[in-house]
């Protein structure tokens, strides 16, 4: 019993308060073109666009070059991509091309698309280059992603691109889609789940991403030391952990061999003992918020669960812990956020529904 409770307690990762700006789009006017840019991005002072995404590291650059003749997107791909890829390999070494369909069309323009993964200064980056020729002017769009959460907004930007003399496309005034793109995670122990790509796994890239947000003044009051400690704790305990886009909410999963299966009703009998353990760790502010409702079902999964309110350094917090043991392995999924925050409720329920034991 003590081992079981200690595992549940180990799944608690304290949240990190922060705030994220709201996204809209405005218009950037270059010397020969216009393009829509999310207002949360930081725009440089160059005559051609050089804009940094909210993570402070990912960016979008436009460059222009004059040709003697007009060249189509397909011709750009056939004539130049192999040479360009070889030059990147010669310069950086660790470069892998991503084979995407090309050309692509956004708005009124067709673009040749070159995409590749690259390791630079220890970071895993994804890069895209879009090429289009208008009359005899080549427009080259280079996008470097530390994180691809903004990729749909990049596509929206390309749709708004208009060269002087052309009829400009309508600029997006809202994020492109409210529907998240999901990422499949499969753990070495065999379980799997899917999560929206607006959530970030606890790893070194996430730390760099969060530091970029902080450096770019997109967040206020984020405790980077606490973030580093929680990422390190997840790594040491073989815990899978993801952060929501506010970095004040997270979910984590722990798998532990139990030697036998247990249904949700059986697991829920341990909740009173668990609550007492939390009170001993977090103090008298701990109280249960789901009395009489300790079994829930999401998708095909039925969980024993406990909801708790507690205070952390005076800040009201909430914790939800979901337990499932379909065979001989116990899976503990914990969600922590600021009390009353329902922003990610649909995401949490989708993740719980997607969970699959081996």
3.30.1600.10, 3.20.20.150, 3.40.1000.10, 3.90.1280.10: CATH of 25-163: 3.40.1000.10
| Residue 190 phi, psi dihedral angles, 5° rounding | 115, -25
Q: Looking at residue 91, what is its pLDDT? A: 83
pLDDT digits (tens, 9 = 90+) for 33-76: 989 898 888 888 778 889 988 877 789 999 998 888 888 999 88
pLDDT digits (tens, 9 = 90+) for 221-254: 566 777 777 778 777 777 899 988 777 789 999 9
How many helices (DSSP H) and strands (DSSP E) are in the chain?
8, 21
Query: Do the Cβ atoms of 303 and 325 come closer than 8 Å?
Result: no
Query: Do the Cβ atoms of 192 and 331 come closer than 8 Å?
Result: no
Q: In b/e form, how buried is each residue of 23-34, taking b as 16+ CB within 10 angstroms?
A: eebeebebeebb
CA–CA separation, 141 vs 64, rounded Å?
A: 9
User: Does the pLDDT at position 342 exceed 80?
Assistant: yes
Average pLDDT of span 122-141 = 90
User: Does the pLDDT at position 3 exceed 70?
Assistant: no
**Is residue 174 very low, low, confident or very high in pLDDT (cuts 50, 70, 90)?**
very low
Q: Which residues contact 112 (CB under 8 A, 6 or more apart)?
A: 73, 74, 76, 77, 81, 102, 103, 130, 131, 132
Average pLDDT of span 241-270 = 90
CA–CA separation, 77 vs 97, rounded Å?
A: 13
Q: Looking at residue 222, what is its pLDDT? A: 60
Query: CATH topology of 2-19+178-354 equal to that of 25-163?
Result: yes
**Is residue 218 very low, low, confident or very high in pLDDT (cuts 50, 70, 90)?**
low
CATH 3.30.200.20: does it fit domain 2-19+178-354?
no
CA–CA separation, 153 vs 334, rounded Å?
A: 31
Domain ranges (residues) in the chain: 2-19+178-354, 25-163
């Amino acid at each position: 019993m003590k081992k079981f409770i200690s595992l549940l307690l180990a799944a608690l990762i304290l949240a990190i308060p922060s705030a994220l700006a709201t996204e809209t789009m405005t218009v950037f006017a270059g010397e020969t073109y216009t393009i829509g840019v999310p207002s949360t991005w930081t725009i440089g002072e160059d005559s051609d666009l050089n804009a940094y995404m909210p993570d402070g590291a990912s960016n979008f650059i436009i460059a222009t070059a004059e040709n003697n003749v007009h060249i189509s997107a397909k011709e750009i791909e056939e004539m130049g991509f192999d040479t360009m890829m070889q030059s990147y390999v010669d310069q950086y070494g660790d470069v892998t091309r991503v084979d995407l369909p090309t050309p692509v069309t956004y708005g009124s323009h067709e673009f040749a698309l070159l995409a590749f993964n690259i390791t630079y200064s220890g970071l895993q980056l994804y890069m895209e280059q879009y090429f289009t020729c208008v009359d005899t002017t080549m427009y080259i769009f280079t996008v470097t992603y530390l994180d691809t959460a903004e990729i749909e907004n990049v596509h929206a930007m390309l749709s708004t691109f208009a060269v002087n003399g052309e009829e400009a496309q309508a600029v997006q005034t809202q994020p492109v889609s409210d529907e998240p793109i999901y990422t499949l995670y499969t753990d070495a122990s065999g379980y799997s789940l899917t999560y929206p790509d607006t959530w970030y796994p606890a790893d070194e890239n996430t730390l760099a991403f969060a530091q970029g947000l902080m450096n770019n003044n997109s967040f206020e009051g984020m405790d980077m030391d606490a973030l580093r400690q929680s990422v390190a704790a997840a790594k040491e305990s073989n815990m899978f952990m993801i952060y929501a886009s506010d970095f004040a909410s997270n979910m984590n999963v722990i798998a532990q061999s139990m030697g036998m299966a247990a249904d949700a009703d059986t697991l829920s009998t341990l909740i009173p003992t668990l609550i007492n353990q939390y009170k001993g760790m977090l103090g008298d502010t701990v109280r249960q918020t789901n009395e009489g409702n300790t079994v829930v079902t999401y998708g095909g999964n039925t969980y024993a669960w406990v909801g708790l309110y507690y205070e952390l350094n005076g800040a009201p917090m909430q914790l939800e812990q979901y337990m499932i043991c379909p065979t001989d392995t116990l899976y503990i999924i914990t969600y922590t956020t600021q009390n009353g925050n329902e922003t990610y409720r649909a995401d949490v329920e989708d993740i719980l529904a997607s969970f699959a034991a081996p």
